[in-house]
Amino acid sequence: DAKTTQPNSMESNEEEPVHLPCNHSTISGTDYIHWYRQLPSQGPEYVIHGLTSNVNNRMASLAIAEDRKSSTLILHRATLRDAAVYYCILRAPNSGGSNYKLTFGKGTLLTVNP
């Protein structure tokens, strides 16, 4: 399975933008890049996903490098509620078929300072 590499932790200040990096140098052409986050004592929460082009939604923006070997999740103005573990995941096809699954890594623990 193609793997992702993320920093173990990052810190940000409230109201400031946050750029969360993810490396996926072995990504294949059919892999989508998904981001989820997990707040303390909760299940993961979908944030955003993309394939090649940059994507925006109400929660965040996803910037994908031209060679697709890395991507960045951008929180435009961090709030205390954004403190969570952020997972960058490749939606990769399961071997032997066209079914897809999500393989979660360790993620990045984002701390937001007031």
Partner 1 sequence: KAGVTQTPRYLIKTRGQQVTLSCSPISGHRSVSWYQQTPGQGLQFLFEYFSETQRNKGNFPGRFSGRQFSNSRSEMNVSTLELGDSALYLCASSFRAGAYEQYFGPGTRLTVT
Q: Which of 14, 21, 49, 111 binds partner 1 (CB under 8 A)?
A: 49
- By the rule CB under 8 A, 91 interacts with partner 1: yes
The residue (of 25 and 57) whose beta carbon lies closer to partner 1 is: 57
SS3 label, residue 56:
strand
- By the rule CB under 8 A, 95 interacts with partner 1: no
| Nearest alpha-carbon partner for 57 in 66, 47, 44 | 47
CA distance 91 to 16: 30
Binding region for partner 1 (CB under 8 A) out of 3-11, 61-69, 75-83, 105-113: 105-113
- By the rule CB under 8 A, 43 interacts with partner 1: yes
Which 5-34 residues touch partner 1, going by CB under 8 A? 34
- By the rule CB under 8 A, 106 interacts with partner 1: yes
CA distance 103 to 114: 32
At 19, list the tokens: 């750029």
CA distance 58 to 48: 9
Interface residues with partner 1 (CB under 8 A)?
34, 36, 42-46, 49, 87, 91, 94, 99-107
